[in-house]
Amino acid sequence: MGDFFWNTAAFIVALGTLVTIHEFGHFWVARRCGVKVQRFSVGFGPSLYTRTAKDGTEYTLAAIPLGGYVKMLDSRLEKVQEQDLHLAFNNQTVWKRIAIVAAGPIANFILAIIAFWLVFMLGTTSVKPMVPDVAANSPLAALSLETPFEVIAIGDSQTPDWQEVNMALAGYIGDDELTLSYIGPASNQVKQVVINLSQWQFDPKKISPIESLGFKPYRPQVHLEVAAITPLSAAEQAGLKVGDQFVAANGETLRDWQQWVDVIRAHPGQQIAIDVLRDDKVLALNITPQIRKDASDNEIGHIGVSPLVDTYPSEYIITTQYGPVDSLVKGVEKTWSLTALTFDTLGKLITGTISINNLSGPVSIAKGAGASASYGLVYFLGFVALISVNLGLINLFPLPVLDGGHLLYYCIELISGKPVPERIQEIGFRIGGAFIVLLMSVALLNDFNLL
């Protein structure tokens, strides 16, 4: 339940910020193009606070914090006094209307650049992509590479850490092959191999691109020793203490921490007989895992302990931090690479190269927002930038009801010299609206694993 509220709060903050910035882009450019803005609202629904400026614009804080909207004077929607006709949106030149509509998505790209600028200014700590081993029967295993090795680049994308490896691999989903650049164990010379992706298929909900290709990243050893206990948890109620070492469960000797986790998850609400080593003595205890739900809404056990984990070797840790100017350059580069990746992925969805099962909706976004927020400000800023780029690009799609649909109509008007008939626009809006509802339905079904 706590995760639900945390994810929801992070989702509201992220989505509210993104949509408000988007609408502020429309608002700011409309004002400078001479359009009368009647209302700029942060949020939807009943007004909590309203202030009317000297120019007559209402600034509203509404009760539902999921974005906002801009209401501009428009003679197509209401009766406008003759002396105010020149202030109506629909009476502006086509170039001004294009600027006003395009300002929303542009604001999202600017937000992404600013967010990444802050990320690079604050600095991040990450792990080098070291691969001590590869999975059997995987695309990578077919190359018989000598391990361990360090991943240097995927295609043309440099990969200083595992996050960059994951992002780079995502761009190759649906492709036939990719070029891997790496440094082997015997020398510091960069080598390249081509990985065949023709049989590369995986469920992104269950496994990452990294693991599905056969990479087995270096991970510090996890010991069967208790490092921390959550208050009021099943572990505390069973009498476990920090420093206890798990020896056996239901009479079976435990080999590693993952085996113990599997036992816990498989016994929700069921008593488990365990042996623990404490002060060189083996104690027999009973523990009953609390019941939780996983991402697929299945019941799993949970006892509330954290294991003792070795630290990463110092040579595997990298800290990245730049000055103000370099951070801005990096922010622009990162936003551009994400834009290209998102555009490529959307194209593959349209052509059917990538399954629609990869499409995610608000539930997945909320989980992502909660997870990134729990890791700290830098990770949450990176998540906001990622979603902001996606929001900006999706709004530029030439679908009526989206900004891209309006821009399409205005481009037709530029070429033909006259506006698209309102009847045609109305039909387009209905088709576009139905298509958006269909996409959202698919995304929601994917979120709940119903497809």
Instruction: State how far Cα 388 lies from the chain centre.
Output: 10
State the CB neighbour count (10 A cutoff) for residue 13: 15
> Is residue 1 pLDDT above 50, yes or no?
no
Beta partners for residue 50, in sequence order: 60
What pLDDT band is residue 370 in, cutting at 50, 70 and 90? very low
What pLDDT band is residue 328 in, cutting at 50, 70 and 90? very high
**What does the pLDDT look like over 276-295, one tens digit per residue?**
999 989 999 999 999 988 76
Beta partners for residue 183, in sequence order: 150, 190
> Is residue 21 pLDDT above 70, yes or no?
yes
- Two structure tokens written together for 416: 């033909």
Q: For residues 226-250, give the mean pLDDT.
A: 92
> Is residue 406 pLDDT above 90, yes or no?
no
Coil, strand or helix at 272 = strand
Q: Looking at 36-45, 172-181, 432-441, which range is the least confident one?
A: 432-441
Q: Which residues are catalytic?
A: 23
Domains of the chain by start residue, with CATH:
126-219+311-319 (2.30.42.10), 222-309 (2.30.42.10)
- Two structure tokens written together for 37: 């803005």
Mean residue pLDDT across the chain: 82
What pLDDT band is residue 381 in, cutting at 50, 70 and 90? confident
Compare 405 and 358 and report the one with higher pLDDT: 405
Q: For residues 361-379, give the mean pLDDT.
A: 50
> Is residue 246 pLDDT above 70, yes or no?
yes
Angle at 202 between CA 198 and CA 208, to 5 degrees: 115
Q: For residues 36-57, give the mean pLDDT.
A: 88
Compare 352 and 64 and report the one with higher pLDDT: 64
Q: State phi, psi for 148 to the nearest 5 degrees.
A: -80, 160
Q: For residues 410-414, give the mean pLDDT.
A: 88
Instruction: State how far Cα 197 lies from the chain centre.
Output: 24
What pLDDT band is residue 312 in, cutting at 50, 70 and 90? confident
**What does the pLDDT look like over 193-215, one tens digit per residue?**
998 888 787 766 667 788 888 88
- Two structure tokens written together for 74: 């428009």
- Two structure tokens written together for 361: 């909706």
